């Protein structure tokens, strides 16, 4: 059957509408259906992004020999396989990021400004993350000072890094101890 709209292409989409009890049937080709949908019901065709994204995954990132091993990858958290992900372009759970990390990283590098989050942090872990960010910053500064042969300042920065690292360790020890206590409490 030919498309009712353009009368040129094969109609591949069948639409039935019920308006005020009046049934309207339409047989359209994909192009006309899309045009019609845009005018009738302006839903954002989000899939284009996912498709593009999925095609990026399938194209440049691994050659044919790798496809086999990749298709066996599966997230232990939700059971999503990498093959499924590369088809729909969406992840299933928080664990997927670690499960597919090796494959995702090159892609993230391509579409983003880096592979490390540099923005807001939930307040419950803000202290720890900010401390780690501060260490990274100080380490860069330390290298600079060593290069510039400003050793006294470099030593001060090194001590600062050590003290922050010690504080992080102490905090996580305390947090773990706290967890043990509560677990013991539950057991009793």
Partner 1 sequence: MKKIDFSISHWMECSGPENDIVISSRVRIARNLAGQVFSCLASSEQTEAVLKKICSVTEKENELADFNFYAMKELTAIEKQALVEKHLVSPLLARDSRNGALLLSSDEAVSLMINEEDHLRLQVILPGFQLEEAWEKADYYDSLLEKKIDFAFDEQYGYLTACPTNIGTGLRGSVMLHLPALIMTGQLNRLLGALSQVGLAVRGLYGEGSEIIGNLVQISNQVTLGQGEGEIIGNLGGMIGQVIEQEQNARQALLDKKRAQMADRAWRALGLLRYAQVMSSKEAMQLISDLRIGHDLGLVKSVDHRLLNLLLVLIRPGCLQMLAGRELDNDERNLERPAQIKKILES
Q: Which is nearer to partner 1, 108 or 146 (CB)?
A: 108
Spatial separation of the C-alpha atoms in residues 94 and 185, rounded to whole Å? 29
Q: Which is nearer to partner 1, 9 or 81 (CB)?
A: 81
Residues whose CB falls within 8 Å of the CB of residue 103, separated by 6 or more in sequence, listed in order: 57, 61, 62, 70, 73, 82
Q: Which is nearer to partner 1, 7 or 105 (CB)?
A: 105
Positions in the binding site for partner 1 (CB under 8 A): 17, 19-20, 22, 24, 38-46, 48-50, 53, 77-78, 80, 88-94, 97, 104, 107-108, 111-125, 128-129, 132
Spatial separation of the C-alpha atoms in residues 135 and 159, rounded to whole Å? 11
What is the smallest separation between the CB atom of 41 and partner 1, expressed in angstroms? 6
What is the smallest separation between the CB atom of 137 and partner 1, expressed in angstroms? 13
What is the smallest separation between the CB atom of 96 and partner 1, expressed in angstroms? 8
- Could you tell me the two tokens for 127? 């202290």
CA 129 to mean position of chain CA atoms: 19
What is the smallest separation between the CB atom of 73 and partner 1, expressed in angstroms? 15
Q: Which is nearer to partner 1, 44 or 149 (CB)?
A: 44
Nearest CA among 44, 46, 106, 118 for reference residue 70 = 106
């Amino acid at each position: 059957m030919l498309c009712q709209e353009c009368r040129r292409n094969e109609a591949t989409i069948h639409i039935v509408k019920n308006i005020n009890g009046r049934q309207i049937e339409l047989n359209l080709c994909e192009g006309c259906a899309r045009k019609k949908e845009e005018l009738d019901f302006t839903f954002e065709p989000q899939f284009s992004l996912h498709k593009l994204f999925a095609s990026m995954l399938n194209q440049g990132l691994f050659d044919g020999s790798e496809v086999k091993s990749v298709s066996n990858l599966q997230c232990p958290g939700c059971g999503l396989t990498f093959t499924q992900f590369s088809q729909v372009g969406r992840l299933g759970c928080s664990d997927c990021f670690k499960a597919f990390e090796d494959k995702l990283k090159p892609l993230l590098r391509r579409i983003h400004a880096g592979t490390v989050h540099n923005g807001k942090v939930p307040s419950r872990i803000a202290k720890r993350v900010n401390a780690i960010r501060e260490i990274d910053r100080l380490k860069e500064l330390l290298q600079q000072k060593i290069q510039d042969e400003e050793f006294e300042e470099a030593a001060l920065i090194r001590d600062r890094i050590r003290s922050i690292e010690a504080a992080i360790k102490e905090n996580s020890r305390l947090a773990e101890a706290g967890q043990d206590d509560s677990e013991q409490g539950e057991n009793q």
